[in-house]
Every structure is written in structure tokens, then in C-alpha cells.
Structure 1
Amino acid sequence: MELTYRLDPDLTPGLLDELTHLWVAVNNTGGAVGFVGTTTYDDVRPDVERYAESTAAGRHRLLAGFDPAGRLRATAFFGFNAHRLQSHYAWLYTVMIDPALQGGGHGRSLLAEVETHARGFGLEALKLTCRGGLGLERFYASAGYKEVGRVPGGLRVSADDYRDDIMMWLPLT
């Protein structure tokens, strides 16, 4: 299945609802997207609302992937730095592929679209963090990202489960 990517789609109530459902599905199938364990629509919705507000204020931009039926199936948020010494790069947040589509090359396709848009914004690099213990750093490395920092045990996912907080960097120049 091909996905069509759109930058800055209208954040309608329907799209925000789809984003919330996608985020819950990704999290509840083991995705490392800011929550731990099983989560609910009501748990995730406040974060979706914060993204909507931040996007409206220009601090974030959404790259969304839609299936042929127009359903949201992939996301990546660009987070722009306000500090003048960091304006040459953006953060990448909430990179998600619908669990039903994972393993089919859609993650690579999403990252390629991210890179294209980042270059179009005139950025020199992208930065992201990922949770250790899931192989995510290998996935991002295969797309050109380099590990540039690691905080051992920097993420507590439960009382006795600490994971490394891994910082990845993609130079665009």
C-alpha cells in the first residue's frame, strides 16, 4: 500500500481523533512513543491537543501519511528551535507508522519524506531521541542517523526497568 504524505494537513477534529487513535495503537503494540504500557484514548488526547496548539503557534509542523482511503497511517512532527544557536536543526518527534503497516518499508519512506521536507526548510540537520532496548537506534542508523549521545538508564519505563535515552543526529549538508 502506498502512503501519500502531506505537510501541515488541516488539524480538524477528525484528524486529531485519528491521530489519537493511531498513537494509542502504536503505543499498545509496543511502540516507544512517550507512554509506557497499555494506554487509552483519554491518556493520549491531552498530548494530541498540545501538539495541535504548538502546531498552530508554529513551533511544530506535522508530516502526515495517508492511505488511499484518506486514513491517517503515519506521522512525524518537526519541532523547531527558538534559540538562535540551534536554529539550523529541528527535532523529530512522535514518529509513528500504523502497526498494521509496520515491516513494509513505510518507516523508511516516512524518514525519506522527513528528510526531503527538512532540506526544503533549509535545515542543516535533524535530531531525535529514542528508547534503548528496542533496536530503534539500528533502524535510525540504517536511515543515516548517527548516535551522538546516550544516557544509560535515562528513561524509567517501570519501577525496575530503566532504558537508555539515545540521541540520534542526521546531518543534511
Structure 2
Amino acid sequence: MDTHAPIAVAELAPEELPGNVGALGELLHACVHDGASVGYVLPFAPQQAEAFWRDKVLPPVATGTRVLWVARVGGQSGGRIAGTVQLDLDTPPNQPHRAEVRKLLVHPAFRRRGISRLLMAALERRAAALGRSLLTLDTRTGDVAEPLYASIGYRVVGVIPGYCRDPFADHLDPTTIMYKAL
């Protein structure tokens, strides 16, 4: 892995998503197998990871209720997808000022290069441009993502015990709910 290769972050248009389902599936598959608590448990097949992007992400991206970014290492046009994040804009009529951060993922081979920060900065800029002044998210309590979010200005609202099943073991983990005012 070239640690000096350029990193490019860009929104992935709805028409680009089908052609990137394989690479995005590989990213999700690698993250879950590395212990990410992002809704899946082992065993977790590559086909399940691809189905997530095709069935759960493509429809809201196509309707404009979700925005998807990818970070590519090696340049935007031909680089490998190393990370992704989503901005969920599907809020009730009385909440047009907020949005939810979903599935910040960075491939284990590309961590510690600032990719998460680049993705979150792009997401926050776009949310602000869309008039969204409040972002929320949840993360497994004690995960490496929790201090990352805190370092970029997210504040803890609280912890919900027994929120999600651990990807490796048959026990429930707590989740931390966080927010950031833009």
C-alpha cells in the first residue's frame, strides 16, 4: 500500500452506484470482518455486503433522500475505494433542519490516513449547504470511532445499553448517541 498516494473524496452519483457495488461490498465486508459494528454479524458473505448497497443504499440515493461519498486512494477516476459515508436526509416534515450520519467506513488497510476526517468534512459541508444545522449519529460505545467523532465536534447525548449484537460474539453492546450543531 502506497501511504503517499493521493486521496480523493467525492459524492457518488446514483448512476455511478451500480458500477461500484462490488468495491463498496468489499469495503463493507472487510470492515465487518475487522469488527465494525455496522449492523451485521458473522458469518457475513460478500453477497450480503453487495446486497446492502444495491437494496438499502441505492434506492434512497436515487430518490435524493441520501447522499453517498466515497474516498478513493490513488485518484478519483481510477483509485481504489478506501472509505465511504452517507448523509440521510429522510426526515419528517417537522425536522427539515437535521440529518443523520450513516455508515462511516474505512477499509482496515487504509486507516490512520485521515480518510474519516475527509469524508466527514465533505458530509458536513454538504449538510450545511442543504440547510441542515443538526447532525446525529450512533456508534458502538468504546469503538475507535467514538473519540474520532468527539475530536471533530460531536457531543455525547447518552448511551443506550444492549443496543446491538457484537459482530463476533453472542452478546449485546451499548451504543453512544452523538450530535453536532453546524
TM-score (norm 1): 0.89
Give the length in aligned residue pairs.
Answer: 172
What residue ranges of structure 1 are gaps of 5+ in the alignment?
A: none
SS of residue in 1 equivalent to 2:6: coil
Residue number among 106, 109, 119 corresponding to 2:115 in the alignment: 106
Q: Which deviates further from its counterpart, 152-161 or 21-30?
A: 152-161
d(CA) in 2 for partners of 1:76, 1:156: 22
d(CA) in 2 for partners of 1:71, 1:135: 23
Partner of 1:44: 49
SS of residue in 1 equivalent to 2:41: coil
The reply to whether residue 60 of structure 1 matches residue 66 of structure 2 is yes
Deviation at 1:160, TM superposition (A): 4.5
Deviation at 1:21, TM superposition (A): 0.9
Partner of 2:8: 4
Matched letter for residue 58 of structure 2: A
Q: Is the 8 A contact 2:164 2:175 kept in 1?
A: yes
Q: Is the 8 A contact 2:155 2:180 kept in 1?
A: yes
**CA offsets 1:108-130 (integer angstroms, 9 cap, x no match):** 22222221221122210111111
Of the two structures, which has the highest relative contact order with CA contacts closer than 8 Å and spacing of 6 or more? Answer: 2
Deviation at 1:100, TM superposition (A): 1.0
Matched letter for residue 5 of structure 1: V
What residue ranges of structure 2 are gaps of 5+ in the alignment?
A: none
SS of residue in 2 equivalent to 1:149: strand
Alpha-carbon RMSD across the aligned residues, in angstroms, is 1.8
The reply to whether residue 78 of structure 1 matches residue 87 of structure 2 is yes
Partner of 1:138: 147
d(CA) in 2 for partners of 1:122, 1:8: 20
Structure 1 residues 160 and 133, CA, compared in 2 at 3 Å: closer, same or farther?
Answer: farther
Partner of 1:165: 175
Partner of 1:15: 20
Structure 1 residues 66 and 89, CA, compared in 2 at 3 Å: closer, same or farther?
Answer: same
d(CA) in 2 for partners of 1:155, 1:29: 17
Structure 1 vs Structure 2: percent identity of aligned residues?
Answer: 27
Deviation at 1:38, TM superposition (A): 4.5
Q: Is the 8 A contact 1:81 1:89 kept in 2?
A: no
Matched letter for residue 59 of structure 2: E
Q: Which deviates further from its counterpart, 142-151 or 103-112?
A: 103-112
Q: Is the 8 A contact 2:86 2:123 kept in 1?
A: no
